[in-house]
Amino acid sequence: MGKLEVVLTESEIQKKIDELADRINRDYAGKELLVVGILRGAFIFMADLVRKLEVPVVVDFVAVSSYGDATESSGIVRIIKDMDESVAGRHVLLVEDIIDTGLTLKYLYDYLKARGPASLRVCTLLDKPDRRQVDFQSDYNGFTIPDYFVVGFGLDYKQLYRNLPAVYALPPGGEEETCLQGQGRRNL
């Protein structure tokens, strides 16, 4: 049976979220922020991040089609649930768990930009630059990681593992039979 390997511990993640929140608090001082999470993966990261924000915050969510049950992107982005808030004239921060090929964020960024926000920036917990298919950079990124398929802290494999408190790598080919017991560490 394969073991999930820790890539980022709970305390490493929390320290990084503190740093990201400090930067965002400084950059948006005196402004109201509309924080838009991309479901489902961003929900835990966003919940921790917004609790560290000291500016007035309104939250909203969008849901997009994901990889289905595969670990590879289909390259097709579809909005399944649109935002409830209006974007026009607002300072918008789009929050995502991970930027991989860049297709999802590029699509959503262009989509929101066309609705006339006062400003639009992107905050991601993880970045896998080796996998990029379109030119896209996050404004606030937590960690740059190698091309591992990671789970935990909101990220899933077949909708499982989102509740795990840290970020883990799935062992190659071991997706079906993983366990947390005796987990090792995989370095960045």
Under the rule (CB under 6 A), what is the footprint of ligand 5GP? Answer: 41, 66-67, 73, 96-104, 149-151, 155-157
How far apart (Å, rounded) are the C-alpha atoms in residues 132 and 134? 6
- Is 100 assigned a catalytic role? yes
How far apart (Å, rounded) are the C-alpha atoms in residues 60 and 175? 32
**Shortest separation between residue 118's beta carbon and ligand 5GP, angstroms:** 25
Contacting residues for 12 by C-beta, under 8 A, at least 6 apart: none
**Shortest separation between residue 107's beta carbon and ligand 5GP, angstroms:** 8
Residue 91: closest CA among 25, 16, 165: 25
Strand ranges of the sheet holding 167-169, from the earlier edge strand across to the other edge: 5-8, 167-169, 150-151
Among 48, 97, 100, 127, the one annotated catalytic: 100
The catalytic residue positions are: 100
